[in-house]
Amino acid sequence: MRTPSIYSQDDPLSEALKPPESETELERRARLEQEAEAKRVSEQIDEELRQERESLKRKRGDVKLLLLGQAESGKSTLQRQFQLMYKPHSLEQERASWRTVIYFNVVRSIKHILSTLESWDDYIDDDAAFDSPTSKYLGGPRSGTSSPVIMNPTLENSGAHSRSGSPFQGNAAAASRSTIGSLRRRLSPLVTADAALADRLSGGITVSGSGKGGVFVRSGWQARTIENALGRKRGRISEEPGLKKPDDIQDALVQDVSHMLDVSKDDIRELWAHPTVKGLIARRRLKLDEWSEFFLRHITRVAASNYIPSTDDILHARIQTMGVAEHVFDVNIHGKSVSWHLFDVGGARGQRHTWVPYFDDANAIIFVAPVSAFDQEDPRTNRIDDSLQLFTQICSSPLLKNAHLVLFLNKTDLLRSKLDSGLRVQKYITSFGERSNDYETIVQYFRAHFLQVHRRNNENRRVLYTHFTSVVDTKATQRIIGNVRDSIFRGYLQSAALV
Ligand SMILES: Nc1nc2c(ncn2[C@@H]2O[C@H](COP(=O)(O)OP(=O)(O)OP(=O)(O)O)[C@@H](O)[C@H]2O)c(=O)[nH]1
Ligand SMILES: [Mg+2]
């Protein structure tokens, strides 16, 4: 008689799936082993999902905190600061998966630099470089993009350019083209890894309307990135004594990219330091995101074959959030441990519809607005203006009217460096007028606009707590988190739940 297997005798589907009569003893044993393994993996997934559901279940007395704000404002980075403060071991477990994100950030940056160079024919001549984009291409501020809220942003040339301003190209041009051409050839295998890395992180899910073609990840992507790399080995990782822990597991793709980075690090450094690249950046013809600049500045360390992301690297890494990710922390206050459920939302326009179901019974909101974004658009609205519109919606939402409201005016470090490099707010936000272009005047000006939005939408007379932040700065952010925690608890203790 055949050894019992998962194929039931009565089920018609099982009947159809029955092994062939001609099955040999060897094949039968292999099949049974496979079935047992599949069953074990499936049970383990069920158990993990059950445990996850259990741990996420919100109890009476738990705090529900929402992190809201536009894309790239710093919500997930702030979430990582909460994680660092209240659940540091979980960040440790994720360290390996951040390597994939950071490699992806680096490869994307190189790809972006090379394609921008290509559109400039690998050279920028000084005349073209010094032309003001607005005067040359737009003839002044573009109309038709005025702000529905407060500001009246002007737009900068969004990238269209012509090479006709370079009437002669001498030795400098030829040398630039030759060097960049060779670098492009040598770096092409690395750049080709972009798609595979994106696929590894997103699990093959693409999101339409994702602006810069970014990669989105859902809650729990860190573990899945490792699973995606391991395929069927999933589930055995931590159980069997002989098998490696997730950190030790060698993802072939990541290993390949690591190797390519190691052998290309001098080329990447050369590209990053090339006068044409520096010229394009200085003239704002090549715009790099803050994380690109951060990892390129640290390329020698990041491209080393034994690279392990530091906590600072993890805070600077960029991956877009898809939907809403819930994180639970136990927060101790006055000797009492309370579970905080922190909801980190995707801020891209196409993701905002997913927020509303989470508004119900929220205790607190941290709204994150990047003040450094005054010179950016999303996609045709000035980003500060977009933040103000979003903040208007949050302040006026009846579902959120009882939630404690905190505003983080974030990325103040980047604002300072933009001002140091000579950027003028008035150029992008005409209503800023002739005010002084110094840090203090600017942050107070933005703060006043947010306060005004709050005042106009404040039937409940609730307080708005504002903080100037740079959430990549761990020490300062943890102090502010402590502050926010205390203020949330003060309000919260008054509600009957805890007293
Ligand atoms: N320098 C600097 N970088 C920051 C700051 N806050 C966030 N970043 C960086 O900005 C990038 C975007 O931050 P995220 O936290 O991913 O933004 P998000 O709001 O979660 O974006 P979505 O998930 O798309 O809604 C990351 O590379 C961060 O490291 C800051 O205060 N200063
Ligand atoms: Mg995010």
Give the model confidence (pLDDT) of 292-339 as tens digits.
999 999 999 999 999 999 999 999 999 999 899 999 999 988 788 899
Q: Categorize the per-residue pLDDT at 54 as very low, low, confident or very high, splitting at 50, 70 and 90.
A: low
pLDDT recorded at residue 187: 98
187 is in an annotated binding site: no
Tell me the C-alpha distance between 279 and 116, whole Å: 12
CA 156 to centroid of chain Cα atoms: 25
Which ligand 1 atom lies nearest to the CA of residue 316? 29
Residue of 76, 77, 419 to mutate, ligand 1, most atoms within 8 A of C-beta: 77
474 is in an annotated binding site: no
Q: Categorize the per-residue pLDDT at 150 as very low, low, confident or very high, splitting at 50, 70 and 90.
A: very low
Calculate helix-pair angle for 383-396, 439-456, nearest 10 degrees.
Answer: 30
DSSP code of 436?
Answer: -
Instruction: Report how far ligand 2's centroid is from the alpha carbon of 346 (Å).
Output: 5
Q: Closest-lying ligand to the alpha carbon of 351?
A: 1
410 is in an annotated binding site: yes
pLDDT recorded at residue 16: 54
Tell me the C-alpha distance between 291 and 289, whole Å: 5
Kindly report which listed range (86-100, 125-139, 210-224, 387-401) carries the lowest average pLDDT score.
Answer: 125-139
Classify residue 411 as left (phi > 0), alpha (psi -120 to 50) or beta: left
CA dihedral (483, 488, 491, 497) positive or negative: negative
pLDDT recorded at residue 495: 62
Which residues make up the CATH 3.40.50.300 domain(s) of the chain? 63-88+324-498
Tell me the C-alpha distance between 355 and 343, whole Å: 9
Q: Categorize the per-residue pLDDT at 238 as very low, low, confident or very high, splitting at 50, 70 and 90.
A: very low
Q: The tokens of 248 are what?
A: 């030790």
412 is in an annotated binding site: yes
Mean pLDDT of the region 217-223: 74
Mean of all residue pLDDT scores within the chain: 82
Tell me the C-alpha distance between 313 and 372, whole Å: 20
Kindly report which listed range (193-197, 379-383, 465-469) carries the lowest average pLDDT score.
Answer: 379-383
Mean pLDDT of the region 101-123: 95
In the numeric block, the tokens 């196409």 are attached to 350
Closest CA to 216 of 326, 27, 76, 35: 76
Pocket-forming residues, ligand 1, beta carbon under 6 Å: 69, 71-77, 290-291, 315-316, 318, 320-321, 346-348, 410-411, 413-414, 470-472
Q: Closest-lying ligand to the alpha carbon of 68?
A: 1
Tell me the C-alpha distance between 379 and 311, whole Å: 31
Instruction: Report how far ligand 1's centroid is from the alpha carbon of 105 (Å).
Output: 13
In the numeric block, the tokens 């005042």 are attached to 455
Is the predicted pLDDT of residue 242 greater than 50, yes or no? no
413 is in an annotated binding site: yes
Nearest CA to ligand 1 atom 29: 316
Q: What share of the chain is helix, strand, coil (3-state, %, to 5)?
A: 55, 10, 35
Give the CATH number of domain 63-88+324-498.
3.40.50.300
In the numeric block, the tokens 């909801």 are attached to 343
pLDDT recorded at residue 208: 55
Is the predicted pLDDT of residue 105 greater than 70, yes or no? yes
Tell me the C-alpha distance between 284 and 267, whole Å: 23
Is the predicted pLDDT of residue 62 greater than 60, yes or no? yes
Tell me the C-alpha distance between 199 and 40, whole Å: 27
With a CB cutoff of 8 Å and minimum separation 6, the contacts of 410 are 73, 74, 78, 368, 369, 370, 371, 469, 470, 471
pLDDT recorded at residue 471: 98
Which ligand 1 atom lies nearest to the CA of residue 347? 25
pLDDT recorded at residue 125: 77
Which ligand 1 atom lies nearest to the CA of residue 78? 15
Residue % of the chain over a pLDDT of 90: 57
More confident residue, 239 or 132: 239
87 is in an annotated binding site: no
Is the predicted pLDDT of residue 8 greater than 50, yes or no? no
Instruction: Report how far ligand 2's centroid is from the alpha carbon of 261 (Å).
Output: 26
Tell me the C-alpha distance between 55 and 46, whole Å: 14
Closest CA to 374 of 428, 322, 330: 428
pLDDT recorded at residue 152: 47
Q: Closest-lying ligand to the alpha carbon of 474?
A: 1
Which ligand 1 atom lies nearest to the CA of residue 469? 31
